[in-house]
Structure 1
């Protein structure tokens, strides 16, 4: 629903690109709205599975194999924190957008109380949600979590600096607690309801992810 609202009329028959599409879950959903859905995925096994759901190319987000100004909508869901060069990846997504096209970006919020990508300690990886790591100074935080970034508002501004875009919408969102809803439906629905209410309060600053929508301007 958030993606549909952000896209406005760009979904209907528009050219859509999902950068870091994984196994193609979004491709299937987006093909309901348009036959012109493309995905980019660097992991070969994921790309092959995603190719059953749409037009998929195995490529880096920092070097998208598409011409300038060819997509009405570009989606990237929790991807830029993993790429080698996040600034180059965002610049590429903007490059392939048509003027007036929109980039819908989800990425981790630095102020969420848990680091969801696990962490390293003395060379050993520890899986799971680790509390408060993202509140540490950058050098220490990045030593513990070298494999994933988390973003402040200032960090997002730096990613967009100098690019031909303007911000349409930005907020922070809480998780949907899908696993909790599946295991304990009644409890899960209550927790989800509470989290959605928090998104309407100042406590959204502690949300799991940034939800950012930018529109490409004519240059």
Structure 2
């Protein structure tokens, strides 16, 4: 009688999460992702009130999980069933209050269960994928409670390309890639105020060293994290001074706006 066949090896997609917790979901990504987390943290402080947060276009849940660590009750939305399954698995591993339903941000206006439900709505590097950005901005606002906050990032129209595809061409239909190069501060203000939001701040994130290290990371593929890890302190120390001295454009613009209370 032959020995039973060994089950095929399967890579544990959540191994780093099991070993190091939800923080690992942020650290193994590129520097642009870590910069966006820094932006989110500045505007979503730790809380003991368990405010509800809605992460629209949540990927595999890195931001959602780490907001749950900070005390928020998080719902992360994405159309990608695989990503949602990964995110839900990681929330269970970390015992965090985060839920990951499947849904398309373009259909957000029809999702009554999300209307006027959240103190915070996140939209990070999402709006540039959607043709009808005016509708998306109105739908994001509708998900906020009165006095709630929108925390958004999107590529800066004036960025310097990290890889060749960043220069286009950009499709005229929604294929999953960017449908526009990016936004200016005036464009973001126009969208937010047109939706009835009050703009609190428009800024930027991901400067010179974040961009250059991300280029290097992408060039080396799976080894990119190890290649760039010793240099990850450089963006924290030098990106702001370089931007002030030389006017080097941030890769992303950031928007913080709130839904009027009265």
TM-score (norm: length of structure 2): 0.66
Are 2:74 and 1:37 aligned? yes
For residues 126-157 of structure 1, give each alpha carbon's deviation from its aligned partner in whole angstroms, at most 9, with x where no partner exists: xx3457x3xxxxxxx6xx12231211223213
Are 2:99 and 1:55 aligned? yes
Cα distance 1:71–1:199, how it changes in 2: closer, same or farther (>3 A)? farther
Partner of 2:44: 7
Q: Distance in 1 between matches of 2:136 and 2:48?
A: 22
Cα distance 1:191–1:160, how it changes in 2: closer, same or farther (>3 A)? closer
Cα distance 1:49–1:188, how it changes in 2: closer, same or farther (>3 A)? closer
Are 2:170 and 1:145 aligned? yes
Are 2:117 and 1:70 aligned? yes
Given candidates 156, 177, 190, the residue that maps to 1:158 is: 190
Query: Aligned to 1:63, what secondary structure does the other structure show?
Result: helix
Higher helix share: 2
Partner of 2:132: 85
TM-score (norm: length of structure 1): 0.77
Partner of 1:122: none
Q: Distance in 2 between matches of 1:91 and 1:202?
A: 36
Q: In the TM superposition, what is the alpha-carbon distance from 1:22 to its structure 2 partner?
A: 0.7
Segments of structure 1 that go 5 or more residues without pairing to the other structure are 117-127, 134-140
Query: Aligned to 2:106, what secondary structure does the other structure show?
Result: coil
Query: Aligned to 2:142, what secondary structure does the other structure show?
Result: helix
Q: Distance in 1 between matches of 2:256 and 2:72?
A: 23
Within 5 Å, give how 1:78-157 maps onto structure 2. Answer: 78-114=125-161, 116=162, 128-129=163-164, 133=167, 144-146=169-171, 147-148=177-178, 149=180, 150-157=182-189
Query: Aligned to 1:99, what secondary structure does the other structure show?
Result: strand
For residues 49-73 of structure 1, give each alpha carbon's deviation from its aligned partner in whole angstroms, at most 9, with x where no partner exists: 2222231121121322234321011
Q: In the TM superposition, what is the alpha-carbon distance from 1:164 to its structure 2 partner?
A: 2.3
RMSD: 2.6
Cα distance 1:155–1:35, how it changes in 2: closer, same or farther (>3 A)? closer
Q: Is the 8 A contact 1:173 1:199 kept in 2?
A: no
Aligned residues: 196
Q: Distance in 1 between matches of 2:141 and 2:83?
A: 24
Higher strand share: 1
Larger Rg: 2
